[in-house]
Amino acid sequence: MHVRLRGARSPSAVFVAVLALAGSGATPLSGQQEASPTVEEAELVRFARAHLAVAAARDAYHARLARSHEDNERERLRAELTETLAGILDAHEMSREEFDRFTVLVSTNAEARASFERILADLAAAPRDTTSVSGSSRR
């Protein structure tokens, strides 16, 4: 499976480009699309695994944050989340920029979104291995 990227380097650039295209009614030229790099399915699987781990970490953070009423504790939880997210991305061999690029891709490209959702369903159906989703078996 190959998904075409639009060649943007930052999420904000992609956002601005999407807004500009949506507002003008313009569509990309087919020649531009063919010159774009492709995303292999293995890369989408790696992103999906990282995405699941990030979502689980954020859910746990929000649950703990809701039970916390001390400013110091909330700040500690935020710092812990930042460290956890960095560890997840490192374990999945992704930079923050790459993770953000994939997030934009699956948000704006129907083919990539369909593949991503299929991969998520496949991962959900597979026996759960906490080390592959979170990047660490630590709790």
* pLDDT score at 38: 64
pTM: 0.64
Q: Which residues contact 91 (CB under 8 A, 6 or more apart)?
A: 53, 134, 135, 136
Measured between alpha carbons, how far is 8 from 11 in angstroms, rounded to an integer? 8
pLDDT in tens, the chain (139 residues): 545 444 444 444 444 344 344 444 444 444 444 334 467 899 999 999 999 999 999 999 999 999 999 999 999 999 999 999 999 999 999 999 999 999 999 999 999 999 999 999 999 998 765 444 444 433 3
Measured between alpha carbons, how far is 79 from 38 in angstroms, rounded to an integer? 35
* pLDDT score at 123: 93
CA 33 to chain centre: 22
What is the residue extent of each domain of the chain?
A: 2-134
